[in-house]
Amino acid sequence: MHVAHPARAPSGSRPLAPVQKSVAGSTTARVAATGRSPPRGSTSTTSSPRPRESHTIISEGQAAHQQEREAAREAVRRAAAEAEERRPSRILATARALRLAPEAVGAHSWIANCPGTHHTLMLGTSTETFGCGYCKVKGGPEELESFVARRRDRHGRP
């Protein structure tokens, strides 16, 4: 005679109700006893909080590729910083003053947050210009200031 295990259904059929093991004092036991979940941030008496784990597994080749890309990004940042020291850029100073968080993507090419949106705008330090293809706006430092002022007025942000 075949007896089905409570957690497993016979092959070819849908699983039966899940089996939950409960330990006195555990979250499962408290929910069963009170019908309510414990407050957020409280810990169970039977277990300690675990550190957050990453579930992404990558190969050694992928890890090496990521390290190479990060090294290349760092080299670009260093080259841009050196270029900025040699010849300070007004457009970059304006973007920093407006808290647009500029970031180097090349020796003379930068990206910054486009205010009030979820995209970036381009900054050219050699030409002292900016441009946002999405918003269809471009110009120099003065135009950047007025563009940011218009966007922030429209969205009510400081």
Give one DSSP letter per residue of 50-80, joined into a string: PPP-------HHHHHHHHHHHHHHHHHHHHH
Rounded Cα distance between 81 and 87, Å, is: 10
Ranges of each domain in the chain: 62-155
| pLDDT tens-digit series, residues 39-75 | 665 555 555 566 566 667 888 888 889 999 998 888 8
Domain 62-155 top-level CATH class? alpha beta
pLDDT at 30 over 60: no
Q: Which tens digit of pLDDT belongs to each residue from 68-84?
A: 999 888 888 888 878 77
pTM over 0.85: no
Q: Determine what percent of the chain is predicted with pLDDT higher than 70.
A: 63
Separation between Cα atoms, residue 24 and residue 108, nearest integer Å: 64
Distinct helix (H) and strand (E) counts, the chain? 4, 5
CB of 7 within 8 A of CB of 13? no
98-150 tens-digit pLDDT: 999 999 888 889 999 999 889 999 999 999 999 999 999 999 999 999 999 99
Angle at 153 between CA 151 and CA 156, to 5 degrees: 105
